[in-house]
């Protein structure tokens, strides 16, 4: 039975990024279907409030955010690495741009183009979730501008591939390719009629190459079963190199961790470890017992609990 459990739903671009990485690494994994809007009653006991998609679970360890997920996947399955040679710095920088700016180009174009088909529950949920940033009426009004931004940024991908390289940093795929992939996937899948990249042959060929990695070998798992797996497991012993706690924080302190951009619901727990890239807190819930919840340091706020 595979250890990796991905809590996800089919239309989630960030989940697609991780599914494709699982495919690239050739892994067996369990897929738990979660709702795309709140409430998410079988996810909250695991995360303690983090509601974004995807979340990865391994026993009683829960990994929030695709960059935290990939760090753990790399640790466990380093062979087909996403960070070959000295690509780590540049790949993570491109990834950070793609996951925020480029992703929101795609969100604006897709939601604005499909505005009349977006159900009310999704509209309202995303408005609340994003603190007003994902405003589908505004996306509809500003569609010309949003499409021009998407196209401008898509051409950056085309330019990156201009010398005939197969992937944006050379001959093998890196984290940068997977982060650039999911916004393109969202646009190509949801609004193919726009032909947003039709005059970008290198981008289209790269997209096909990336798509061919597939999703590995997923097996569906019931959400309640995932909770039982956490309940039956113990949180892993954490050995983080180069501990780095902000002044005034100590291991064992009551803290909260929250995203700094959108979906900012804080998760409360006891600080287990932190370094420049990673935060781990321990929390418990009757449905899962004790769990470690892992976050990236970049893009997250660590605070003392009130």
Q: How many angstroms separate the CA atoms of 176 and 146, rounded?
A: 23
Closest CA to 21 of 61, 99, 77, 104: 77
Applying CB under 6 A, the span of 50-58, 109-117, 141-149, 202-210 interacting with ligand GSH comes to 50-58
CB contact at 8 A, 7 and 226: yes
CA–CA separation, 219 and 27 (whole Å): 11
Residue 122 C-beta: closest distance to ligand GSH, Å:
9
In angstroms, the CA 243 to CA 220 distance is 37
The answer to the question of residue 104 lying near ligand GSH (CB under 6 A) is no
Interface residue with ligand GSH, options 99, 150, 175, 203 (CB under 6 A): 99
| Closest separation in Å from C-beta 56 to ligand GSH | 10
- Please list every residue from 5 through 24 that binds ligand GSH, using CB under 6 A: 12-14
| CA–CA separation, 217 and 79 (whole Å) | 17
- Quick check: 178 binds ligand GSH (CB under 6 A)? no
Tokens 């604005």 -> residue = 112
Using DSSP bridges, classify how beta strands 300-304 and 4-8 pair: parallel, antiparallel or unpaired: unpaired
Q: Which stretch binds ligand GSH (CB under 6 A): 21-29, 46-54, 222-230, 278-286?
A: 46-54
Residue 51, interface with ligand GSH (CB under 6 A)? yes
Nearer to ligand GSH, 13 or 216 (CB): 13
Q: How many residues touch ligand GSH (CB under 6 A)?
A: 13
Three-state DSSP class for residue 209:
helix
Residue 66 touching ligand GSH (CB under 6 A): yes
Residues near ligand GSH (CB under 6 A)? 12-14, 36, 51-53, 65-67, 99, 129, 263
């Amino acid at each position: 039975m595979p250890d990796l459990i991905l809590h996800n739903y089919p239309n989630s671009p960030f989940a697609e990024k991780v599914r494709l990485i699982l495919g690239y690494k050739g892994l067996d994994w369990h897929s738990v279907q979660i709702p795309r809007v709140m409430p998410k009653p079988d996810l909250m006991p695991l995360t303690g409030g983090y509601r974004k998609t995807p979340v990865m679970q391994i026993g009683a360890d829960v990994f929030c955010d695709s960059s935290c997920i990939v760090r753990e996947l790399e640790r466990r399955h380093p062979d087909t690495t996403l960070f070959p040679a000295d690509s780590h710095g540049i790949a993570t920088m491109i990834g950070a741009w793609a996951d925020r700016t480029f992703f929101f180009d795609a969100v604006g174009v897709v939601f604005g183009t499909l505005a009349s088909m977006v159900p009310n529950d999704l509209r309202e949920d995303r408005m609340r979730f994003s603190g007003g940033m994902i405003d589908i009426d505004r996306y509809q009004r500003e569609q010309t501008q949003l499409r021009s931004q998407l196209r401008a940024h898509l051409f950056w991908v085309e330019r990156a591939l201009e010398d005939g390289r197969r992937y944006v940093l050379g001959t093998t795929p890196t984290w940068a390719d997977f982060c650039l992939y999911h916004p393109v996937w969202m646009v190509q899948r949801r609004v193919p009629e726009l032909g947003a990249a039709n005059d970008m042959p290198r981008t289209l060929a790269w997209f096909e190459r990336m798509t061919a990695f597939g999703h590995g070998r997923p097996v569906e798992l019931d959400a309640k079963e995932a909770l039982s797996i956490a309940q039956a497991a113990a949180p892993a012993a954490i050995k983080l190199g180069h501990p780095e706690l902000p002044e005034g924080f100590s291991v064992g302190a009551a803290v909260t961790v929250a995203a700094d951009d959108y979906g900012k619901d804080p998760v409360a727990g006891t600080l287990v470890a932190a370094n420049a890239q990673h935060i781990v807190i321990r929390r418990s819930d009757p449905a899962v017992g004790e769990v470690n919840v892992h976050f990236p340091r970049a893009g997250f706020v660590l605070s003392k609990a009130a």
